Amino acid sequence: MENLLTIKDLSLADIKELLMITEKLKQEKDRELYLKGKSLGMIFAKSSTRTRVSFETGIYQLGGQGIFLSSQDIQLGRGESIADTAKVLSRYIDGVMIRTFDQHEVEKLATASSIPIINGLTDKYHPCQALADLFTIKEKKGKLNELKLAYVGDGNNMAHSLLLAATKVGMDIAVATPQDYAPQNEVVKIAKRFAQQNGSQVELLTDVKEAAKSADVIYTDVWASMGDEDEAEERKLKFADYQVNQEIMDLANEEVIFMHCLPAHRGEEVTADVIDSRQSVVFDQAENRLHLQKGVMVKLMA
């Protein structure tokens, strides 16, 4: 494991090791020597709360420093090639986290860099979030295999990453989306291959209630992701039947947990009574981004 670009590139052993490192780092108090003297460049073409604060705090807790690099503040935003930027940064720092729109930009950066590249989010994948979600589910349920995750809403970067993450660890996953908002076929094919290898199942549905039946985890995301704001009103109409409410939660297993990668729009994709209920683990999820990303940095940069 040289980079973290997408979960499809990770082996099951990689994932297990990351979760073990994360658990250790979450419990440890004396952790500041792991990345002492190391620097992480953080390129942001998309703004963020959780990604920026968790990476910047995480590298600090490990003894290193984070350098915030807005795409408008570096030459990448003024026409310098990704390859040239990658080669220069490789001479200065020890790793790069990039949060941007196009997955190909992340892959080009990794190809030209001699330092580890971490995908902090693209329009196609959100691997750090999905790995932190696996860690949270294991914390709450004690295992990952033989569970069912139901994802409800837009077939976006979260749906893609959860499809890959769940099937890599032997977890069943049902994805319920409106007809025109299903996950990309390319990603679904890869997830089904992983599912066959690891003894799990993938279901693509349009019926939320069917997806929620017997689920151990119900997960949703905003209906209009960053970059889709101009479609927000149209999506509200098309996604009106894809809200996670208590009726949907009641169809799942008795000990079901609710997850959301945040930020959440209460009253749209999830009702306030669900996200604020005892079944909700959304803030544990958010905290675990910090710990998982520390695990990723230790694995790649130590």
Catalytic positions, please? Answer: 99, 126, 129, 221, 261, 289
For residue 195, the Cα-to-chain-centroid distance in whole angstroms is 19
Helix (H) / strand (E) containing 100: none
Q: Enumerate the H helices of 28-126 as residue ranges.
A: 50-61, 82-92, 103-112
Q: Which pair of structure tokens corresponds to residue 75? A: 């030459």
Cα distance between the two ends of the chain: 13
Q: Is 91 annotated as a binding residue?
A: no
Rounded Cα gap, residues 77 and 236, in angstroms: 33
Q: Is 201 annotated as a binding residue?
A: no
Strands 202-205 and 172-176: parallel
Q: Is 200 annotated as a binding residue?
A: no
Rounded Cα gap, residues 178 and 199, in angstroms: 27
Q: Is 6 annotated as a binding residue?
A: no
Q: Is 49 annotated as a binding residue?
A: yes
Count, residues in the chain: 302
Q: Is 184 annotated as a binding residue?
A: no
Whether 110 contacts 133, CB under 8 Å: no
Q: Is 293 annotated as a binding residue?
A: no
Q: Is 178 annotated as a binding residue?
A: no
Three-class DSSP category at 98: strand
Q: Is 39 annotated as a binding residue?
A: no
Q: Is 31 annotated as a binding residue?
A: no
Q: Which pair of structure tokens corresponds to residue 229? A: 């704001």
Q: Is 127 annotated as a binding residue?
A: yes
- Binding site for carbamoyl phosphate, by residue number, is 48-51, 75, 99, 126-129, 261-262, 289
- Binding site for L-ornithine, by residue number, is 157, 221, 225-226
- Binding site, by residue number, is 48-51, 75, 99, 126-129, 157, 221, 225-226, 261-262, 289
